[in-house]
Amino acid sequence: MEKQISSEKTVLEIPRRLVDKRLDVAVFDLLQKKLPTRSLSRGSITRLINERKISLNGRETIPDHLVKLHDTAEVSTQDLFTPAPILEPQEDIDIPILYEDEVIIVINKPEGIQIHPARRGINMKTIAHWIITKYPKLRGIGEDPLRPGIVHRLDRETSGVLVIAKTEASFKSLKELFQKRAIEKTYIALVYGHMEALEGQINKPLIRHSGELKRFAVETQCVPEGAREALTLYRVIARYAEFDLLSVTPKTGRTHQIRVHLASLGNPIVGDKLYTSKSLRRGDKFFSQRQLLHAFRLKFDLFSKKYTFGAPLPPDFQSVLKDIDPVRHQGRDSTFFQSEATGAKGPSSPIKGKAKVISNGVDETSKTVYDSEALKSLLVE
């Protein structure tokens, strides 16, 4: 149900068919029916909610808030008809390309660069600016002019594999794959302390408080309204005196999911300014200038073709691992990484020195550095 309350404001009432849908999805659905001749995108609705220009029941909220029957969303007609900002080319952005064909581009995103701008930061340098500079024909691909071809995101300080759609067909197919959780994502993370188990899963719903960037993990015994299902798998690659190096596979795609889940176990990612306690950020504890989280591999099937992409750890991450590993110059197989990153079998060689292969068992009380074939694949001399 929709009703006009003035020439400047429109109130959209949530019908039964949209109950428990995301706010941005529900508002987009209702506005499409109310304004069929207006070219709107879900991305533009999401942006307006983030900019606090769409309220729910008179309060500011977030795009993924789940709506209830008869909730009312209020939106300014002027905001709906205000043209979206236009991205301008930025010539001095250097992004490594891992792969490209007729339908996709795969990049190795550096840390420190945002995926796309907010409306207020339209002139900042982002991956979106790089896309329209190098591939101007991609301006119209996708649902939001500020996100040309962009189907998923990485945090500003997270590095690694990112896939970009070159056609409308590949955009829709990739988006569907992400929604169906049909894309296998593997991350590498360095965390404080030692995981309770060498391999396991974290099954804790996530919730975000209105107006806050920070997310919170909640126990499944008492899930509050608005919490979203979240599942993360992890495996310890290497164990150091004060850190564990993990291979992490998120099975759902919630914002900050890996960071929140690991922090909820008392093992936050090294360098994470948002989810690491003050005690770990002060004193003698090592603290990286950025969160040591890297999108290592993506695997998916698209248009009957199998894709696997891997991005090597960036130099800053490798440098940290070598600094905390006393056997860093022993038993490294520099050819293993390429085969590991592409999913093929590669050569393996015994690890020398004090390092032990984690799959052969560990002494939980030992301070010996542990290692594995997977670790060798990350440290490329």
The tens digit of pLDDT for each residue in 173-189 reads 999 999 899 999 999 99
**Domain containing residue 220:** 181-291
Provide the strand spans (E) within 156-198.
Answer: 159-165, 184-192
155 and 75 within one domain: no
Final residue belonging to a domain, choices 179, 205, 228: 179
Looking up residue 262, the CATH number of its domain turns out to be: 3.30.2350.10
How far apart are the C-alpha atoms of 157 and 346, rounded to whole Å?
Answer: 30
Beta strand 2-4 pairing with 9-13: antiparallel
Cα gap 153→161, rounded to integer Å: 10
Q: Which amino acid is at 245?
A: L
Helix (H) or strand (E) holding 56: strand 54-56
pLDDT at 227: 79
Among 56-70, 203-217, 303-317, the range with the most confident prediction by mean pLDDT is 303-317
Whether residue 230 sits in one domain with residue 192: yes
Does residue 192 contact residue 288 with C-beta atoms inside 8 Å?
no
Q: What is the pLDDT of residues 189-229, one digit of tens each?
A: 999 999 999 899 999 988 876 556 666 767 666 666 667 88
Residue 317 lies in a domain: no
The CA distance from 267 to 295, in Å, is 19
Q: Which pLDDT score, from 0 to 100, does residue 325 have?
A: 74
Higher-confidence residue: 324 or 270? Answer: 270
Over range 149-170, report the average pLDDT.
95
Two tokens at 281? 């950020």
- Please check whether residue 345 lies inside any domain of the structure: yes
- The reported pTM is 0.74
pLDDT at residue 375 in the model: 57
User: In this structure, is residue 369 part of a structural domain?
Assistant: yes
CA dist., res. 48 & res. 60, Å (int): 11
Using alpha carbons, select from 336, 338, 332 the residue that is nearest to residue 309: 338
In a domain, 309, yes or no: no
Confirm whether 155 is a catalytic residue. yes
Answer with the one of 179, 198, 216 that is the final residue of a domain. 179
Considering 87-101, 110-124, 289-303, 362-376, the range whose residues carry the highest mean pLDDT is: 289-303
Residues 187 and 285 in one domain: yes
In Å, how far from its chain's centre is CA 11? 33
Catalytic entry in 29, 155, 244, 325? 155
Same domain, 153 and 201: no
pLDDT in tens, 6-47: 457 888 999 999 998 889 889 988 988 887 756 677 777 888
End-of-domain residue from the set 81, 107, 129: 81
Strand-pair partners of 201: 233
Same domain, 185 and 130: no
Q: Two tokens at 269?
A: 């990612």
- Total domains in the chain come to 4
Please report whether residue 89 resides in a domain.
no
Do residue 168 and residue 188 come from a single domain?
A: no
Task: Give pLDDT, residue 221.
Answer: 62
| Any domain includes 23 | yes
User: Backbone phi, then psi, for 180, in 5-degree steps?
Assistant: -85, 0
